Amino acid sequence: MAATAGNLAALCSRALRAGEGSVIGGRVLLAIDPHALSRLGAGRDIAVVSGTNGKTTTTRLLATAAAAGGRQILTNSTGANLASGLAATLSGDPRSAEAVLEVDEGLVPAAVEALRPRLAVLLNLSRDQLDRAGEVRMHAARWRSALGRSPATEVVANVDDPLVSWAAEGAGNTVTWVGTGQRWRLDATTCPSCSGRIEWRRALEAPSTDLARHDGDVWACQGCGRKRPVPGWVLLDGALRGPDAAVLPLDLRLPGWANRANAAMAVAAASRLGVAPRAALAAIASVADVAGRYAEVPVNGAVARLLLAKNPAGWAEVLDVIGPPPRPVVIGINARIADGRDPSWLWDVPFERLAGRDVTATGERVLDLAVRLRYAGVDHTVVPGARGAIARAAGMARTAQGTEGEFDVAANYTAFCDLRKALR
């Protein structure tokens, strides 16, 4: 009955074009039955995916890999990762016994408690929306205690994030460690356990007995001696090495290191769900865009590629993906509640790397962005509205590269939604 009411509300929402539908349906469902999540999760094999960056993409990759063998997988593909979104997703098809769910960092304890997932895939933790989310290591502590209370939940964790590793290793859970070679280290400079300083060094300079193989950098706490566990999976030089010593080249349609890391996590997780790594990777490699991210959209005789980055760690990766000149770029910044109301983080983003490009600055916080770009030494043109910004960049792309000229559109969450709408 509750599920039917929820589905009806979702139908109304879609009919009224008020939203994607799933969230309101889930809200109605949870209002009628507060225990809907545990009820819907019961008897299902569930994998939850969480972290600051890469949640939506990794969820999509893991769901794609798990479905490749013909299995029916429920998944919240639109990024509705709060309780209402999870409830709506799980009430979708009663016959599906498996689900891959993206879960907001703050909801992980409640989701683990209610769903008792078979697998928890923990990606990374870094500064994001600190005005409402609080301190980064608070999430790590809450993840750690939640997993301790669900000992049957297996964990797949990024060993190169010291906060995630601490959260994963706390209890007796079985952990599969993945060495992603994560590059953002600024939020884990001190040990979450003892507050000692964490130091990194090249693995090859480390005592060779520490490691089964050459696998990137290692970290260790100078206070309590906690150190990077030896990973079973390692992403290095664009290839993924698995526990059986096989080397799988990651030839993905999605661009950049961050997506190779997402794919590495997804392949390791899929293998825990019984999907052979090569089959998982074949399915993952074909994914071309994820909820609009990385989509290439024709506009005004040019082609826009959409990139989403919500915080400094995400922007550092997106700036790597943005093409070189003469490819123009649009940068869009908002600061609504979903983005975090405080754009101080713009000063943690190495926008200096955009120098020499044609940059159009846009979004509701374009004035903050413009000041940041001036101090970064990046010439730019301010166009506050999304449509105007797209039109300007498309024109510059055609001028520089002819018709079908390409440009990048990189934005934080609600600015991304505005720019995506402007491209329709």
Partner 1 sequence: MTRRDSAVTVALLYPELLGTYGDGGNATVLARRLRWRDIPADVVEVPSGTPPPRQADIYLLGGGEDGPMALAVGELAASGTLGGAIADGAVVLAVCAGFQLMGEEFAAADGSAQAGLGLAPWRSARGHGRRHVGEVVVEPDPALGLPLLTGYENHQGVTVLGPGGRPLGRVVVGLGNHDDADPVDGAIHGRVLGTYLHGPVLARNPALADRLLSWVVGPLGPLPPLDDRDVEALRSARLAEARRAGRAARVMRRLARC
- Decide whether 260 or 372 has the Cβ nearer to partner 1: 372
Give residue 221's Cα distance to chain centre: 27
Enter the tokens of residue 400.
């520089």
CA distances to 278, 307, 338, 343, 411 from 310, rounded to whole Å, are 32, 10, 10, 10, 8
Q: One-letter amino acid identity for 189?
A: T
Q: Is 192 an interacting residue with respect to partner 1 (CB under 8 A)?
A: yes
Which positions from 374 through 393 interact with partner 1, judged by CB under 8 A? 374-376
- Decide whether 6 or 363 has the Cβ nearer to partner 1: 363
Task: Name which position in 149, 197, 201, 278 contacts partner 1 (CB under 8 A).
Answer: 197
- Decide whether 253 or 374 has the Cβ nearer to partner 1: 374
What is the C-alpha separation between 363 and 389, in angstroms, rounded? Answer: 9
- Decide whether 137 or 310 has the Cβ nearer to partner 1: 137
Shortest Cβ 242–partner 1 spacing (Å) = 33
What is the C-alpha separation between 307 and 387, in angstroms, rounded? Answer: 17
Q: One-letter amino acid identity for 423?
A: L
Q: What angle do CA 175, 179, 181 make, to 5 degrees?
A: 150
Number of Cβ within a 10 Å radius of residue 111: 25
Query: 193 φ, ψ to 5°?
Result: -90, -50
Map residues 255-294 to x or -, x wherever contact with partner 1 holds by CB under 8 A.
----------------------------------------
What is the C-alpha separation between 127 and 147, in angstroms, rounded? Answer: 22
Rg (CA), the chain: 22
Q: Is 8 an interacting residue with respect to partner 1 (CB under 8 A)?
A: no
- Decide whether 143 or 345 has the Cβ nearer to partner 1: 345
What is the C-alpha separation between 322 and 166, in angstroms, rounded? Answer: 33
The closest alpha carbon to 393, from 423, 349, 353, belongs to 423
What is the C-alpha separation between 194 and 82, in angstroms, rounded? Answer: 32
Q: Is 161 an interacting residue with respect to partner 1 (CB under 8 A)?
A: no
Strands 98-102 and 247-249: unpaired
- Find where tokens 């001036």 sit: 374
CB 123 within 8 A of CB 53: yes
Task: Name which position in 121, 136, 265, 378 contacts partner 1 (CB under 8 A).
Answer: 136
Beta bridge partners of 50: 122
Beta bridge partners of 389: none
Q: Is 367 an interacting residue with respect to partner 1 (CB under 8 A)?
A: yes
CB 34 within 8 A of CB 49: no
Q: Is 224 an interacting residue with respect to partner 1 (CB under 8 A)?
A: no
Task: Name which position in 191, 254, 261, 329 contacts partner 1 (CB under 8 A).
Answer: 191
- Decide whether 106 or 192 has the Cβ nearer to partner 1: 192
Q: Is 372 an interacting residue with respect to partner 1 (CB under 8 A)?
A: yes
- Decide whether 18 or 194 has the Cβ nearer to partner 1: 194
Only one of the segments 107-115, 287-295, 339-347, 395-403 lies at the binding site for partner 1 (rule: CB under 8 A); that segment is 339-347
The closest alpha carbon to 229, from 313, 330, 157, belongs to 157
DSSP 421: H
Q: Is 346 an interacting residue with respect to partner 1 (CB under 8 A)?
A: yes
Shortest Cβ 290–partner 1 spacing (Å) = 28
Q: One-letter amino acid identity for 65?
A: A
Q: Is 236 an interacting residue with respect to partner 1 (CB under 8 A)?
A: no
Number of Cβ within a 10 Å radius of residue 288: 11
Size of the site for partner 1 (CB under 8 A): 33
Map residues 26-65 to x or -, x wherever contact with partner 1 holds by CB under 8 A.
----------------------------------------
Only one of the segments 39-47, 84-92, 196-204, 316-324 lies at the binding site for partner 1 (rule: CB under 8 A); that segment is 196-204
Which positions from 296 through 325 interact with partner 1, judged by CB under 8 A? 312
Q: Is 241 an interacting residue with respect to partner 1 (CB under 8 A)?
A: no
- Decide whether 278 or 375 has the Cβ nearer to partner 1: 375
- Decide whether 93 or 352 has the Cβ nearer to partner 1: 352
Q: Is 80 an interacting residue with respect to partner 1 (CB under 8 A)?
A: no
Only one of the segments 69-77, 134-142, 151-159, 300-308 lies at the binding site for partner 1 (rule: CB under 8 A); that segment is 134-142
Q: Is 127 an interacting residue with respect to partner 1 (CB under 8 A)?
A: yes
- Decide whether 5 or 370 has the Cβ nearer to partner 1: 370
What is the C-alpha separation between 420 and 13, in angstroms, rounded? Answer: 21
Positions touching partner 1 (CB under 8 A) are 127, 130-132, 135-137, 185-186, 189-192, 195-197, 199, 312, 341-342, 344-348, 367-368, 370-372, 374-376
